[in-house]
């Protein structure tokens, strides 16, 4: 199955992303690869973020034609580099697990 957006892999670390946003893990989708629009789900979750600068970076401002906030990429990069657990995410995302294993095999060859 092809994954529509990389955000589904970010959402696959349910506990890590919930912690990053300061929201309950119960709000996180249990099967992120089944989400039709993971970017929208991610920004909807970020609306609940208690840390205002993070929320304002990820969530588009009212009336914006853009689907994401002005610091979306930087905030998600910060999460990935500092908080995201690929091992945890692989347990919730079969496509990520396959991609990760292929990259490890490639790395071991070189």
Q: Does 2 reside within a domain? A: no
Domain ranges, residue 41 = 7-109
CA 87 to chain centre: 14
Q: What is the CA radius of gyration of the chain?
A: 14
Concatenate the DSSP letters of all residues of 81-95 into one string: HHT--HHHHHHH-HH
Q: What is the pLDDT of residues 49-93, one digit of tens each?
A: 999 999 999 999 999 999 999 999 999 999 999 999 999 999 999
Q: Does 43 reside within a domain? A: yes
Q: What is the pLDDT of residues 2-51, one digit of tens each?
A: 556 799 999 999 999 999 999 999 999 999 999 999 999 999 999 999 99
The structure tokens listed for 97 are 């697990």
Q: Does 15 reside within a domain? A: yes
Q: Does 1 reside within a domain? A: no
- pTM of the predicted model, to two decimals? 0.89
Q: Does 16 reside within a domain? A: yes
Q: Does 18 reside within a domain? A: yes
């Amino acid at each position: 199955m092809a994954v529509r957006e990389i955000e589904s892999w970010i959402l696959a670390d349910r506990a890590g992303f919930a912690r990053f946003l300061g929201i309950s893990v119960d709000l996180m989708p249990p099967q992120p690869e089944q989400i039709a629009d993971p970017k929208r789900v991610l920004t909807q979750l970020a609306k609940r973020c208690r840390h205002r600068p993070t929320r304002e970076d990820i969530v588009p401002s009212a009336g914006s034609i853009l689907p994401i906030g002005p610091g979306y990429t930087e905030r998600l990069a910060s999460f990935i580099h500092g908080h995201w657990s690929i091992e945890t995410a692989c347990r919730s995302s079969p496509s990520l697990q396959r991609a990760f294993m292929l990259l490890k095999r490639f790395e071991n060859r070189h």
